[in-house]
């Protein structure tokens, strides 16, 4: 990738931050924990003619609720790393982009009150997030953006499969630095 970038003359670094609500597809999980905004700080590197690579860490989903007939206290926490490849097509001050990658997510659910030790699920899952979006560059040094990102995250910690995945409709801000 560095060879491609050096042949093109310059690379562009784009650090930034996404924020938006995390949607959960599973109706039962959604009714217990609800939705919460998540953050995703990221770093993109535009390598050659719109080709970009990057990564970021999604965090912030940490919810509590009551579960079951006995309304036992419970908590759910999710987060994870995203690595991606994508393409950005610039049209004057606007740019459209699409990206796909690998997501390495962890989820932890705790239910207290079942017995002295409680009940806990603490697992990891690798998945393939997909995203499309629009950026606006009022100057060459910073941008504002919106993104629709889908993270498929079906997990089966025990007998029943649960869909913790869903859409993230995010807004973000970032900086752009050309390196020659």
Contacts of 103 (CB under 8 A, 6+ apart): 80, 81, 82, 83, 126, 127, 128, 129, 151, 153
Residue 92 forms part of a structural domain: yes
Residue 79 forms part of a structural domain: yes
pTM for this predicted structure: 0.83
Residue 103 forms part of a structural domain: yes
Contacts of 166 (CB under 8 A, 6+ apart): 22, 23, 24, 25, 150, 151, 153
Q: What is the pLDDT of residues 136-175, one digit of tens each?
A: 999 989 999 999 999 998 887 767 788 888 899 999 999 9
- Tell me the percentage of the chain whose pLDDT exceeds 90: 54
Residue 10 forms part of a structural domain: no
Residue 11 forms part of a structural domain: no
Q: What is the pLDDT of residues 37-75, one digit of tens each?
A: 999 999 999 988 899 999 999 999 999 988 878 888 889
Q: Look at the chain and report how many structural domains it folds into.
A: 1
CATH number of the domain to which 155 belongs: 2.40.160.20
Higher pLDDT, 23 or 149: 149
Task: Give dist(CA 158, CA 47) in Å, integer.
Answer: 43
Indicate if the pLDDT at residue 120 is higher than 80: no
Residue 1 forms part of a structural domain: no
The answer to whether 57 touches 43, Cβ cutoff 8 Å, is: no
Residue 26 forms part of a structural domain: yes
What is the pLDDT at residue 40?
Answer: 96
Question: Which residue in 156, 71, 69 sits closest to 107, CA to CA?
Answer: 156
Residue 107 forms part of a structural domain: yes
Q: What is the H or E stretch that residue 4 is in?
A: helix 2-8
- For residue 145, the enclosing domain spans 16-170
- Beta-strand ranges (E) seen in 68-118 are 72-91, 94-111
């Amino acid at each position: 990738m560095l060879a491609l970038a050096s042949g093109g003359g310059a690379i562009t670094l784009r650090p930034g931050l996404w924020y938006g609500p995390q949607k959960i597809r599973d109706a039962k999980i959604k009714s217990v924990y609800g939705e919460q905004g998540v953050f995703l700080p990221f770093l993109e590197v535009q390598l050659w003619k719109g080709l970009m690579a990057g990564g970021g860490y999604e965090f912030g989903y940490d919810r509590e609720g009551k579960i079951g007939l006995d309304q036992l206290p419970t908590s759910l926490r999710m987060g994870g790393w995203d690595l991606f490849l994508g393409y950005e097509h610039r049209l004057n001050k606007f740019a459209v982009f699409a990206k796909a990658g690998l997501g390495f997510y962890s989820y932890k659910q705790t239910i207290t009150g079942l017995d002295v030790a409680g009940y806990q699920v603490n697992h990891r899952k690798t998945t393939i997030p997909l995203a499309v979006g629009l950026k606006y560059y009022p100057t060459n040094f910073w941008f504002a953006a919106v993104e629709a990102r889908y993270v498929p995250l079906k997990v089966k910690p025990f007998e029943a499969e649960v869909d913790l995945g869903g859409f993230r409709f995010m807004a973000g801000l970032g900086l752009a630095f050309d390196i020659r």
